[in-house]
Every structure is written in structure tokens, then in C-alpha cells.
Structure 1
């Protein structure tokens, strides 16, 4: 027998004992961490949500201070109840033997408060008495329910020729621009960049963002919303990637034919200098070398295009989450932005005077040839997109714009347009 065998056996047994001790210590440390995390996740004051959260304040405001409730929730109690009735079934959770579920009313109210303020989850938890971890699930889920339930009804994009004609009628009657299916524009929505994303979301203004591209009707309502392209892309680049542009180029939008339009002109959408001039998309003439007819055309186009600028301005003032950097993953940013745009249309249609009083949009003083700026322009919030590279329009696109120029200086002229261009508007 090898004389060294007992020593080897003793060493082996010692190693087994040390391993067992190490495992016991690791298991004990894990149990301590788990208990500590449970204590932190179940802080006593968080379990007193009804007593310490803002639901008591909300009920008091509903009963005795409706204007304060409207300011707090960004909607009236009637609008809140209707919204809760529609999305409540989608966000209701079951109670468990361990704890009572957060109610649908609490979930909706904290989501609306988040959209109204843009506060961090770690800050909002003190108002709602809901942990940041739970808020990180509740708010995107509630926004997704709003988008799923309301967006098909209130943000309509798939239109027929008769519906395009109804949109164009509003533009003609309100803004004196015929055959117009909407105003197109885009804005940067600030975000905190996801890990390891580098400069992918870094825009020309020096911050991280995703792009919100929208088509807006004559009543400041969103007809199409596209969210999520990285902030480095220009207006035109984002436009190229939208479903709207794809269907426009393939002639799948069922636009009215020229036989059914005013002066038999092309049915068009209005945009700014960043976009490519097309047969169905018009933008201003370049500022260099403008003659009087071109200046009149630019004024008339600007007058119609203000609707999209004002829609973005109203959105950012009512839902101030757009005035901060949204600190969630980019895929969740998309559903949050779409929910806000949907609520904007919902409130525009349900309670327009309260949601959007006249001071919230630009007003023209036609007697003095001036524009009274909307209140939101003092703090615009969202940043416009970079123009990008120049485009070479086709002959047909240039001809189409020239026909509108001739119309605005001929049979379609309005009495005040020369006064407005004389004052630089």
C-alpha cells in the first residue's frame, strides 16, 4: 500500500468539506439578499396605497374641484370615466392570496399623470404609492391599451376618396387651400439612449432622440403617426421610410382624381423645405429670388402647414412628457408617444374648447397683416428635424406647384394675401 494514500484521502475529504461550507455560505448570502430585496420591494408605505397615494386627492378633486381635476389629469372627469370604461378590461389584473392588485383606475390615473408631467418613475412613486418597478410595467401596458382600443377610431389613416375629400373640404374652408389631404412634418422626441447604442440616436442638435412623423388635418388632429426612427435621420429620410410614403408612391392611397378636384389640380399634401417636391406633395419655393407670385404661394402654403406645427405644440404643452428625455427603452417610447397622440385626438373631439382654447394656436390678424403667436411657441419643447440634402424634383412636380401658384394669384386669390406678404408673413 502506498504510504501517501491516507494523506491524499485526508486532503480530498478536506476539499469536500471546504466546498460544502462555501456552498452553505453562498446559499445563506443569497437568502439574505432575497429577504433584503423583498423588504425593499414591499415597503410598508407602498402597501398603504389607498391611504398614502394620490387616489384620495383625485376623488376630492372630482367631487369639489373639477377644474383642478382637469388640470391634474389633462381631461374632465367625464372623459376620464369614458376612457376607463373602454380600456379598463384590458388593464384589470386579478387579486392574489399575497396582495391586492393595483386597480384599473389607479393604473390609468398614474399613466395620465406620467404623460402630463414626464416625471421619472422614481419620483412618481411618491405620488402614486406604486414602486418604480411596477410603474415600469404599468405605464407601457396602459399606453398599449389606449393605442389598441382608441387609435383605430381616433387616428384614421386608411381613407377612401370620399374621406380625403372631406379632409380637403376643411382645408379649403378653414385655410383657403384646396385639394389638400393634410400637412406633413416631423419632430425629435428626446430619449435617454439605450446601452451600447453609440451615436445611433444622436441628432444634429446634440441630444439623443427618436423621430415623430405625422400627417395632420385642418383641425389639428393626427391622421398618421410614425414613431421610432433614430434621431440622425432627416425629415425626408424619415418620410421615405413611412407607410404613408410607400403607399403614396405606389398610388395606393385612393386619392381623388383630378376630375373631382378644384380647378382639376392634383390632390396634394403640404410640407416644408425638408421634403422632396412631388406630384402630390408641395413645399415652398426657395427663399432666394422670390417674386411676388412665389411669395404669395409660400404664404398660402405656410398658412395651411401651420396646422401640423400647432398640433405638435399643443401635444407638447398638454402632455409634458415631450418636454423631457423619456427614460425608457425605444420600443416603449413608441407606444408612449402613440398613446399621447391618440389622447390628443380623443380630447380634441370630446372637449375641444377646454383642451385647445384659441390662445393655444396661431391666430392671424388679417386687418393688420400680422400673426398672433400661440402660447406654446414661448416654450416649443420638441425640436424640428434637419432638412438634409437637397432634392431634384421632376418636371411634373414643378409644373404642379406652378399651377397652384397661378391659382393663388388668379381665381383662388384672397383679399388679404398681399397685405400679409407685405408684412413678411
Structure 2
């Protein structure tokens, strides 16, 4: 009796199932035994010991215990996870300390797993999620962009009091942040230094805090075009920033506008001052202007320097997806501002910044971006500069050489 077609199909299916069972690998366990012992081996146990060694605690997480507990209370509601029937969740404390250690050291997920006792796959989710939460929690209070003329004047008053530059709204600069080329990106992130990068543009106030950070422009964009790609520049050119109109400098009769200070990577504008080129320094008055501008402008260099010194992720080529790089960098920026405000003595002591003596001489303790992988924006050809911008710079130059002069400035014109 001949078998039916249905019987043949069933026989073939049974054979395939049998073969599949034979070649199927034995299922691996879902988690390594030593990772299951996180409670015993995790670095949080070491942190408990550091409570008796405050300096070690500060060095490990870049903040003292009191500041850390404040940060943990702020971010915990956004990173807490529920336990399941299969396993206990990784606590906010473990998530935050792993993230802070990643930022502080720049170590890979694979390396970090041995101290955190968290798998690289889990860290690849936990760290970007926690960075995103840090940025969302801290940005409103610790990355505040001025909203009115009074806010701008408060910044300008402190620049004048500390750095003798009136009507300064902030120091602006940008840095290339090295990254590992993402798969399929081609030359999108390839910069003029022959490396792959994304650009962090920052504006700092006189207290070494960012008032604006714009990150994400790929390194292939010309450095002169980095500023133009920002929402800040769009609002600046449209006059939507509510910047005060020009007025008399306090204590004398000179009428000067409010401006940002920058280096030669940026174009001279009536609202943005940059130094005279070296080839044009044909008078002591111009040299004094450059010196006085550099005193205010170096604030942003110091700000980047502190950021890179405390978060050594900026000494590496960041090796994650671009959208996660943005989360990591912006978390470091808001943490910088948070720590300047809440833990200045341990995070940014005097040794972290360029200190100035009474005679104007500057002591540099070495905290600068040259010790990191951050690259400066390339100096650009000035092109055509409108007469209004030139006149503004001339007016500031005249002020610095006359009623606004300081006793020590002539020591820096040679």
C-alpha cells in the first residue's frame, strides 16, 4: 500500500526536527556565576570603605560623599528599575556609580565590568540611560542660558569685576571630541587633523561654568561653520537673545556694546570680539587689546581644561554610537556645572585654573586641554570684516588704552 503525500510530509518534518535536536548547542547559562555575586564583589563595597577616606572617595567619583548623595537623590527616580521574578534589578546607586566611573576614567565597558560586576551588554544600556537622565535632571538648574537683559548684565558684571573686561557676555570656543568611526559613516566625521570627531561648542561665564553647550556637529564640517550650525547663532543674528543695547561702562563715559569674546577661529562681529592677527600687531595699543581680550577669553579654555582633567573620557576616542556619545558628553557638561556649584573645593580648586597675581602675571598649573585629546578649532581666514565690527573693536581698544587701562598691562606688550 502506497503512502500518501501527507504521510511523506510528516516523515520529512519529523526527520528535520530530529536533526535540529542533534546539532542544537547546549544552551549557555544566562549569567556568569561571578556576576551573580555582584553584592559581594562590586565596587560599591569599596565605596563604603572610602567613607573613611574622603579624598579617595572624591577621587573615585569626582565628588565628595555629600554631593554624591544629593546627585543620587535627584537622578534616582529616573533610573530606578523594578525587580522581576527572574532577577533583582540593578539599583540606582550601582547605575550612577558605574556611570560616574566611566566618565572619570574613560574605561571601556569590557574593562569596567570587572569593578562594577555588571556585564558589558548591560553597561551599554545603563550608562547612556543614566547620562541621559543626568542631563535632563540637571540642565534646567545647572545649564541655564540667560533669558533677559538682567541675566546677561549679571554675567557681564562678574567678567568686569574679575577680568577687567566690561560688557562681556561670555567666552566662546569649540573643541573636537575624538570618537571611533561608527560603522557605515564613511568620511562623515573625518576632520582636518586626520581623525574622527564631533564638535563641542561652549560658552562660559566668569565662574568657569558653561552657560551654553552645543554638541553633535560632525568633525567634517569646517570649523568656521560650527558656530553657524547652532541655534544660538541663529538667535544671535536675528537679535532674539535679548542682549542689552550698548551703554556707558560703569565709572566712566565710554559707550560700549555688549559682546562675546572668542579666538581667531571665529569671525569678528559687532557682538563678538576676537584678537588682532599677529601680522597686524603694529602698535602697542593693539597688543594691549589682545592681552586684555585674552584674559577674558582664557576662561573658556580653563573650563574645557577642568572638564577634561576631571572626566578622562575626554582623553580617549569615545567608542559608542553617535547618539550615545551626545548623551555622554552632555552629561559631563552638566555634571561639571553641578560640581562647580556644589563641590568647588574638591572638583575645581585653585590649582585647576590659571591663577593671576596682583601684578597681572598668570600662573598656569597645567590643567589645560593640551593634556587631553581635545583639539582646537582651526584658525580661519578672516575674509571681509564689516566696518561696524572694526569700529567696535577699535572702541574697546581705545578704552583699554585710556580710561579702562590697568597698571600692569604694559608689561605684556613686548
TM-score (norm 1): 0.91
1:76 corresponds to: 64
- Cα distance in 1 for residues equivalent to 2:7 and 2:249: 94
Contact persistence 2:247–2:257 (CA under 8 A): no
After the TM superposition, which residues 220-231 of structure 1 pair with which residues of structure 2 at under 5 Å, given as runs? 220-231=208-219
Contact persistence 1:46–1:129 (CA under 8 A): yes
Structure 1: gaps (5+ residues): 1-5
Structure 2: gaps (5+ residues): none
- Cα distance in 2 for residues equivalent to 1:71 and 1:313: 17
Contact persistence 1:273–1:284 (CA under 8 A): yes
Q: Secondary structure of the equivalent of 1:212?
A: strand
Is it true that 1:325 corresponds to 2:314 in the alignment? no
Contact persistence 2:264–2:380 (CA under 8 A): no
Of residues 15-24 and 348-357 in structure 1, the stretch that sits farther from structure 2 once superposed is: 15-24
Q: Deviations over 1:320-362 (max 9, x none)?
A: 0010111111111111111111111111111212211112111
1:408 pairs with 400, 403, 406, which one? Answer: 400
2:32 corresponds to: 43
Question: Structure 1 residues 26, 196: CA separation in 2 closer, same or farther (over 3 Å shift)?
Answer: farther
1:3 corresponds to: none
1:59 corresponds to: 48
After the TM superposition, which residues 154-233 of structure 1 pair with which residues of structure 2 at under 5 Å, given as runs? 154-233=142-221
1:22 corresponds to: 16
Q: Secondary structure of the equivalent of 2:84?
A: coil
Q: Secondary structure of the equivalent of 1:198?
A: coil
2:349 corresponds to: 357
- Cα distance in 2 for residues equivalent to 1:235 and 1:417: 31
Question: Structure 1 residues 277, 24: CA separation in 2 closer, same or farther (over 3 Å shift)?
Answer: farther
- Cα distance in 2 for residues equivalent to 1:17 and 1:220: 76
Question: Structure 1 residues 317, 24: CA separation in 2 closer, same or farther (over 3 Å shift)?
Answer: farther
Q: Using the TM superposition, give the Cα deviation of residue 382 of structure 1 relative to its aligned residue in structure 2, in angstroms.
A: 1.3
Q: Using the TM superposition, give the Cα deviation of residue 233 of structure 1 relative to its aligned residue in structure 2, in angstroms.
A: 2.2
Q: Secondary structure of the equivalent of 2:367?
A: helix
Q: Secondary structure of the equivalent of 1:44?
A: coil
2:267 corresponds to: 276
- Cα distance in 1 for residues equivalent to 2:231 and 2:35: 44
Q: Using the TM superposition, give the Cα deviation of residue 15 of structure 1 relative to its aligned residue in structure 2, in angstroms.
A: 7.5
Of residues 349-358 and 129-138 in structure 1, the stretch that sits farther from structure 2 once superposed is: 349-358
1:247 corresponds to: 235
Number of aligned positions between the proteins: 409
Q: Secondary structure of the equivalent of 2:413?
A: helix
After the TM superposition, which residues 82-93 of structure 1 pair with which residues of structure 2 at under 5 Å, given as runs? 82-93=70-81
Query: What is the root-mean-square deviation in Å for CA atoms of aligned residues?
Result: 2.1
Q: Deviations over 1:74-118 (max 9, x none)?
A: 000000000010110110000001000000100011000000001
2:95 corresponds to: 107
- Cα distance in 2 for residues equivalent to 1:29 and 1:168: 73
Contact persistence 1:234–1:387 (CA under 8 A): no
- Cα distance in 2 for residues equivalent to 1:151 and 1:157: 10
